Structure 1
């Protein structure tokens, strides 16, 4: 069955004159606010959010998207379906927000790093196989692993451009997929269909669809396609003809790399995050229910939108490292050292630096993807939410866990956290952490992405007994949470050894609700964990921030708000004073375990933030990174609107701390509303600083989980177990090497 949705009771805005009668002077007066749209396309769904100038989300809708795997490792999607889902979500979110579409002046997109194939002549979808007759299936999903041999061939070149993608390309990147298409696409009239294709990363395709422009983002081409920005390591055009010819892709070199987006400044344009691509085309404005006065920002890969949506958060409790940094630097320089951990089924770790820092097993460094002349590094854990799901579902007590948690009215995670607290008491243990002191859980069930970068790594668990009780499941789950924390420490340690200076971790995703996991992350890494204003919506919120940057240009261009308004989708506003957000500033879950107890202010009664009330199954799905509904379910309702936020109704008011920012524009001044002309010195403002000001203005307040004292017994125990964790990783590789040598000797003997 499809998920049931609770319609949001969103307070409306004060009434405005019909947009068709708004004068330019009125538009630039303090009486007319500006709004932004964020669009996020994940693996299983598309989402859209409407955000105001305080950073409040006024409407947010989600719709499932399908994916097909008609042959193992060949996973495809449909760009037409994705665009239609986006349009549906934007219109739905507009309806929820009850604002006039003409007041939306910026839109930003993020998406998975999937490859989109389009006919160069017709701009229509081109099939990517394995069924090349189905042109609707024109996206090779990021998780598609069909291009194994092509990936090996590309990496065998040892081309210098590979050092900027972590030393070798991943099978999940775009160039191996393109090479596979060349090798496998059929011919038509004696010519391969590959020659008719042009290619986009999905986020870039969405900005193309929205504007009809061929502009590409540095985020997509640098991170996933082998583009090395001009001036880096002798790069002249960004794309390397030598490299592409070396991997037998001369078709991509032809016409000055036209199929990939062209040469910057010649026949192509490449932008940093949030830079303006242009206004919505008339066709896309109509389809989205917006206007041509809405400007489109250069998009980003979804994990990078999570970075945007979290790392500029302020905190109630000062974080000394951030306070010190803010005194020393300004603008986007403040972002350096703030690690974003974007968690779902897997977790991405993204950090910015002013200089290129090469880290073994970490992708990058990537220049210009967020801000001009700044570099980003991307580490990652292959499975985090997926790991917890596996540990729970494969244990003999899993069914009992389901019955018990349902009876208690808690999610499985909150139930297990409570169970661990009770176990601590009944066993007379010092703490919950000490319950697993002799369980050594190494959880790379699905290979290691960072920092070992070994896809052959597997799990090893030392200390298991034959106990199959619910208590043993609780302790095994504790071990899995500890592993996630220890592996995060491993990634950060390697990054810092290479030259990064990580000051704190900004989390996002449903795992933020798991107080046990958040406490373990803080104590394993020794770093403050900052829980953002929006747990589940941080990625789509980051996309909306991109739109806020582009909105500045919309106002500077002086576009009347009513230009090319879709009257069919125009929505009347009604009277209200302060529009409350349906999404509160959530903290980690109010877990029943003392280990997850955070600083004061977990709920309204203590003066802190309320957080969304979810059903236990919704809570679990969010923490595991699962899509909201299985689109292959024949009983699912295609027209179902999947909304986030409180199921018990919207919050009664926007938190006072956010309301105090009400008069600040998304750029940190009144300039966004057109009240004040730009100062001469601001005309050369770095694009990264523009983005950072938007991030600072809209991000709002986050909550801090500080690590325990270095002398805390749990910190000492975790430090010792970290040594065991490293030894387990090294030993596994040594054991495999020993076995491989033995197998080689056996093969040599048998061949005699």
Structure 2
């Protein structure tokens, strides 16, 4: 188990004193975020200014008894969540009664329970082990079922990239029907993992549009004439009529269009207060409310795209001046990077892009559409290139001796090679290396799982210098493919002007520079590099909490939430506005363990091993923040827009929930560092443009060659 602990040292001494003098410390509100990834559960606790005060992580297991059969346990995941939430409450030293909201995100995995007693149902291949009741997103058992579903060419497939992926949930449900008894199948209740977590927390079967629209084929009311959300015709056609029975009870029911108790919600909309027994398990108060959950990559979008940058971006200022509310999020591409990378963009209108999933309506906000592109392997690609090269062991020794990461060592090595070889720049070192890196197939924009890697320009050089240049080629490939995805999306109608990154790849200055120069777009590095996703989940809890109206709700909850004050409720004293502005607008200048480069060297360390280093290094700043704000009217204090609530005091108006989400994101996300592209006439930009044409040709030629050989093989077989 790996945990991180952080106290209030996040704020400077002067800021803490100011908070005490203003009474902020006593009136602060707190929220918890939970992120369940493939290998671990995480939790964080944030305050109402967006500061992460504590973060905890606990591994979770996955079982693979047969190839492509990968399962997990919902019990183990829930226990890991409870452990992490208790840890962050303890480590933050925050009184539990001050925690008013919690949000969940998770992988798109299928959870199966008994609809009557809510006990786990085994999903195989060992059907005697009910503990294994989750089919993990990366499970590929349902190949035949996926082909059968896609052969229908149903209209709902149009909104999931033209065909369902083997990793989506409906093919997995169809596989289960084919492999368990009818009696057992009829007992099943199916959840996306994030929706299961909100169900576990509240006891309510409310589902998110994020999971059902993006991964299960639900069409919101009005899309393609949809009246119920789910298509009974489609479910009958693919051999799953059971899912349509009792008003689609097994998959969450039909979409209600009237009334307050909606069973499908957009991101962060209020689901309910914590069940009292669950509150005890989590160590949270029963008045803590739960926001509608999202898929993990979408939490990364929430946690990054509202960042206020350290330098002004005219691209955003010009567009934002004509927009209001959640509309300001359109045109901002979130690149959520890890083993693979997801690219998520919001638009006011449905935009269809070949090779890009979606458009998905209502996922983030009512009436707005999301598109999701992706690269099958990015972090995994870099790891593969390094680990398979003959010089990998030497790289490990050298980077350990220098006390820096392997990537930082290679970046500095490339700088030295520029001097040794008399090249113009690092980019020109790989001018004759043409690296196409789809080792694991192509997700976007070709959407061809049969794509593979191709490298032109390799020699028999096995040195550490050759490894450095191969690594450079892999970074260039990631950046060129990102450009290809961005161009395809823009050609189809998206107006993308900035890329908001998240994940550990943000620390790789070389990769960030290449992304900016290949795409021609500014790259924004978030305040919370490693915690952007779990931070986004905490914002879901804040959205649900901010929709709460303490004066209209039931008296018992009103009493328990009597300290529910937002930042604009703080006493109006001289200097308050400027101080709050410093805290919220200038957040990236506050040292934080979640932006510190734990696997990266300091700038001074790199300087000692390199003759120069033009790539940005992202980490904690050393700026002195002990000075008091010198302008009391420098910034406006944080305040959240008042929105219409229902009779219980909670926001259910789907028309306004998107703006509520944006207000929370804008006021709490903090800042980001910008990597600007070089000018279009820069020699490196010109070289990368020329190599982009070759990159496109390599992709096209590979498919052409494969088709030619397949044609020959089919004739030989015939």
> Shorter-normalised TM-score: what interval?
0.7 to 0.9
Deviations 1:132-171 (A, max 9, x none): 1111100000000000010000000000000000100000
State the alpha-carbon separation in 2 of the partners of residues 489 and 590 from structure 1: 30
Q: Which residue of 1 aligns with 2:660?
A: 690
Among candidates 317, 333, 353, match of residue 327 of structure 2:
333
Structure 2 gap ranges (5+): 12-22, 564-579
Deviations 1:90-122 (A, max 9, x none): 000000110111111111000000000010010
State the alpha-carbon separation in 2 of the partners of residues 375 and 458 from structure 1: 31
Does residue 8 of the first structure (1) align with residue 26 of the second (2)?
no
Question: Is the contact between residue 32 and residue 43 of structure 2 (CA under 8 Å) also seen in structure 1?
Answer: yes
Q: Which residue of 1 aligns with 2:621?
A: 604
Q: Which residue of 1 aligns with 2:426?
A: 432
State the alpha-carbon separation in 2 of the partners of residues 524 and 422 from structure 1: 23
Among candidates 163, 176, 179, match of residue 174 of structure 2:
179
Q: Which residue of 1 aligns with 2:519?
A: 525
Deviations 1:540-580 (A, max 9, x none): 00000110011123443362464899xxxxxxxxxxx9998
How far does residue 582 in structure 1 lie from its aligned partner after superposition?
Answer: 4.4
Q: Which residue of 1 aligns with 2:593?
A: 583
Question: Is the contact between residue 405 and residue 601 of structure 2 (CA under 8 Å) also seen in structure 1?
Answer: no
Question: Is the contact between residue 252 and residue 258 of structure 1 (CA under 8 Å) also seen in structure 2?
Answer: yes
Question: Is the contact between residue 261 and residue 269 of structure 1 (CA under 8 Å) also seen in structure 2?
Answer: yes
Deviations 1:36-71 (A, max 9, x none): 010000001001110001100011100000001011
Q: How does 1:729-744 map to 2 (within 5 A)?
A: 729-744=699-714
State the alpha-carbon separation in 1 of the partners of residues 319 and 697 from structure 2: 35
Does residue 384 of the first structure (1) align with residue 394 of the second (2)?
no
Partner SS, residue 346 of structure 2: strand
Distance 1:683 1:84, change over 3 A: closer
Partner SS, residue 727 of structure 1: helix
Q: How does 1:451-470 map to 2 (within 5 A)?
A: 451-470=445-464
Q: How does 1:490-639 map to 2 (within 5 A)?
A: 490-556=484-550, 557=553, 559-560=557-558, 562=560, 582-583=592-593, 592=606, 594=612, 596-598=614-616, 604-605=621-622, 607=623
How far does residue 299 in structure 1 lie from its aligned partner after superposition?
Answer: 0.3
How far does residue 317 in structure 1 lie from its aligned partner after superposition?
Answer: 0.8
State the alpha-carbon separation in 2 of the partners of residues 458 and 157 from structure 1: 28
How far does residue 316 in structure 1 lie from its aligned partner after superposition?
Answer: 1.6
Q: Which moved more, 1:28-37 or 1:505-514?
A: 28-37
Partner SS, residue 360 of structure 1: coil
How far does residue 583 in structure 1 lie from its aligned partner after superposition?
Answer: 3.5
Q: Which residue of 2 aligns with 1:479?
A: 473
Q: Which residue of 2 aligns with 1:285?
A: 279
Q: How does 1:60-71 map to 2 (within 5 A)?
A: 60-71=55-66
Q: Which residue of 2 aligns with 1:22?
A: none
Deviations 1:613-655 (A, max 9, x none): xxxxxxxxxxxxxxxxxxxxxxxxxxxxxxxxxxxxxxx8799
Partner SS, residue 233 of structure 1: helix
Q: Which residue of 2 aligns with 1:613?
A: none
How far does residue 29 in structure 1 lie from its aligned partner after superposition?
Answer: 10
Among candidates 697, 700, 714, match of residue 684 of structure 2:
714
Q: Which residue of 1 aligns with 2:253?
A: 262
Among candidates 693, 698, 702, match of residue 728 of structure 1:
698
Q: Which residue of 1 aligns with 2:39?
A: 44
Q: Which residue of 1 aligns with 2:675?
A: 705
Among candidates 384, 391, 396, match of residue 397 of structure 1:
391
Does residue 252 of the first structure (1) align with residue 247 of the second (2)?
no
Q: Which residue of 2 aligns with 1:24?
A: none
Question: Is the contact between residue 412 and residue 613 of structure 2 (CA under 8 Å) also seen in structure 1?
Answer: no
Question: Is the contact between residue 531 and residue 594 of structure 2 (CA under 8 Å) also seen in structure 1?
Answer: no
Does residue 72 of the first structure (1) align with residue 67 of the second (2)?
yes
How far does residue 661 in structure 1 lie from its aligned partner after superposition?
Answer: 10
State the alpha-carbon separation in 2 of the partners of residues 381 and 655 from structure 1: 45
Partner SS, residue 230 of structure 2: coil
Question: Is the contact between residue 115 and residue 187 of structure 2 (CA under 8 Å) also seen in structure 1?
Answer: yes
Question: Is the contact between residue 530 and residue 594 of structure 2 (CA under 8 Å) also seen in structure 1?
Answer: no
State the alpha-carbon separation in 2 of the partners of residues 663 and 119 from structure 1: 51
Among candidates 125, 137, 150, match of residue 155 of structure 1:
150
Q: Which residue of 2 aligns with 1:414?
A: 408
Distance 1:247 1:419, change over 3 A: same
State the alpha-carbon separation in 2 of the partners of residues 653 and 245 from structure 1: 66
Among candidates 110, 119, 127, match of residue 132 of structure 1:
127
Deviations 1:368-427 (A, max 9, x none): 000000000000000000000100000000111101111111110000001000001100
Does residue 228 of the first structure (1) align with residue 238 of the second (2)?
no
Q: Which residue of 2 aligns with 1:105?
A: 100
State the alpha-carbon separation in 1 of the partners of residues 561 and 317 from structure 2: 45
Deviations 1:464-494 (A, max 9, x none): 0000000000000000000000000010111
Q: Which residue of 2 aligns with 1:312?
A: 306
How far does residue 589 in structure 1 lie from its aligned partner after superposition?
Answer: 7.5
Distance 1:439 1:156, change over 3 A: same
State the alpha-carbon separation in 2 of the partners of residues 726 and 595 from structure 1: 30
Q: Which residue of 2 aligns with 1:32?
A: 27
Among candidates 180, 199, 208, match of residue 199 of structure 2:
208
How far does residue 585 in structure 1 lie from its aligned partner after superposition?
Answer: 5.3
Distance 1:10 1:248, change over 3 A: same
Distance 1:703 1:299, change over 3 A: same
How far does residue 512 in structure 1 lie from its aligned partner after superposition?
Answer: 0.1
Partner SS, residue 604 of structure 1: coil
Q: Which residue of 2 aligns with 1:643?
A: none
Does residue 218 of the first structure (1) align with residue 216 of the second (2)?
no
State the alpha-carbon separation in 1 of the partners of residues 71 and 652 from structure 2: 45
State the alpha-carbon separation in 2 of the partners of residues 655 and 475 from structure 1: 48
The structure whose RCO (Cα within 8 Å, separation 6+) is larger is 1
Partner SS, residue 547 of structure 2: helix
State the alpha-carbon separation in 2 of the partners of residues 127 and 685 from structure 1: 40
- TM-score, length basis structure 2: 0.88
How far does residue 663 in structure 1 lie from its aligned partner after superposition?
Answer: 8.4
Among candidates 436, 441, 454, match of residue 442 of structure 1:
436
Question: Is the contact between residue 293 and residue 561 of structure 1 (CA under 8 Å) also seen in structure 2?
Answer: no
Distance 1:683 1:193, change over 3 A: closer
State the alpha-carbon separation in 2 of the partners of residues 165 and 384 from structure 1: 22
State the alpha-carbon separation in 1 of the partners of residues 384 and 629 from structure 2: 41
Q: Which residue of 1 aligns with 2:186?
A: 195
Q: Which residue of 2 aligns with 1:745?
A: 715
Deviations 1:665-702 (A, max 9, x none): 4x536x69x9xxxx9x9989611000000000011110
How far does residue 745 in structure 1 lie from its aligned partner after superposition?
Answer: 1.8
How far does residue 747 in structure 1 lie from its aligned partner after superposition?
Answer: 1.6
